[in-house]
Amino acid sequence: QSVLTQPPSASGTPGQRVPISCSGSSSNIGSNTVNWYQQLPGTAPKLLIYSINQRPSGVPDRFSGSKSGTSASLAISGLQSEDEAEYYCAAWDDSLNGPVFGTGTKVTVL
Amino acid sequence: QVQLEQSGAEVKKSGASVKVSCKASGNTFAGYYIHWVRQAPGQGPEWMGWINPKSGGTKYAQKFQGWVAMTRDTSISTVYMELSRLRSDDTAVYYCARPHSGSGGEAFDIWGQGTLVTVSS
């Protein structure tokens, strides 16, 4: 079901920088932009980053995105307790002709 | 501020159909495509397709072609997603979502609250 691969978990102490990777293929990340979502338990996903590195209004600049080849990365700088959530990457897939999502990474603040 | 309000949870038997509604508040109903995304328990989201509320045009993910139907009622700013021949693995939270105006149309910044559909045998 999930076409993009993410590590199942990541963690850090408050203030640390936590990177999250997302691996895809030439039909999705390799040829299209990447978006990132944050999801708290029992709620809908929240758009965190779009078009690789753009933040919607209201999203702190602690969150940043990047892309290289068929992989992408989200970085959380200055980790805070409220950042504890599930994070999903997503990208348009030319084969599906629609967006595909990642497997998800659970971020824990130690 | 545009909001998407979905219908309540459903419990269905295998083989039945379910129809989920998504009502848009605000006056931009016809201006953006509405997408449907589902999320099975413990899994990542899965895109199902979109509907153009203005024209009624649709596009479905290949996996769902033949057993999903997306429709709209412009008089009440509501879109619908109907899934037929339900199986147990269709148990999921179903979301409607609207693209961010600054993206290429595939980044969703406005989501409904989700509708849990439970399929029992």
pLDDT digits (tens, 9 = 90+) for B83-99: 999 999 999 999 999 99
pLDDT in tens, B8-43: 999 999 999 999 999 998 777 788 999 999 999 999
Of the pLDDT bands very low, low, confident and very high (cuts 50, 70, 90), residue A1 is low
Between A3 and A90, the higher pLDDT residue = A90
* pLDDT for the residue B28: 76
How many Å apart are CA B115 and CA B25, to the nearest integer?
17
Query: What one-character DSSP code corresponds to residue B8?
Result: P
Structure tokens at A49: 């980053």
How many Å apart are CA B52 and CA B49, to the nearest integer?
10
How many Å apart are CA A67 and CA A35, to the nearest integer?
10
* pLDDT for the residue B74: 92
pLDDT in tens, A70-105: 999 999 999 999 999 999 999 999 999 999 999 999
Whether the CB-CB separation of B58 and B51 falls below 8 Å is answered with yes
The answer for A58, left when phi > 0, alpha when psi is -120 to 50, beta otherwise, is left
Q: Which of B8, B9, B38, B5 is nearest to B22 (CA)?
A: B5
The answer for B90, left when phi > 0, alpha when psi is -120 to 50, beta otherwise, is alpha
Is there a contact between B103 and A51 if contact means CB atoms under 8 Å apart? yes
Facing A103 at nearest CB: one of B44, B113, B114: B44
Assess whether pLDDT exceeds 80 at residue A2.
no
pLDDT in tens, A35-84: 999 999 999 999 999 999 999 999 999 999 999 999 999 999 999 999 99
CB pairs under 8 A between A and B: 72
Facing B106 at nearest CB: one of A45, A92, A104: A92
Beginning with the edge strand found earlier in the chain, give each strand of the sheet holding B68-73 in spatial order.
B4-6, B18-24, B78-83, B68-73
How many Å apart are CA A104 and CA B39, to the nearest integer?
12
The predicted model gives A16-37 an average pLDDT of: 97
Residue B67: phi and psi, rounded to 5, are: -135, 10
* pLDDT for the residue B59: 96
Find, in chain B, the residue whose alpha carbon is nearest to that of A53. B103
How many Å apart are CA A67 and CA B101, to the nearest integer?
22
How many Å apart are CA B25 and CA B46, to the nearest integer?
25
Assess whether pLDDT exceeds 90 at residue A107.
yes
The predicted model gives A5-31 an average pLDDT of: 97
Whether the CB-CB separation of A16 and A76 falls below 8 Å is answered with no
* pLDDT for the residue B26: 79
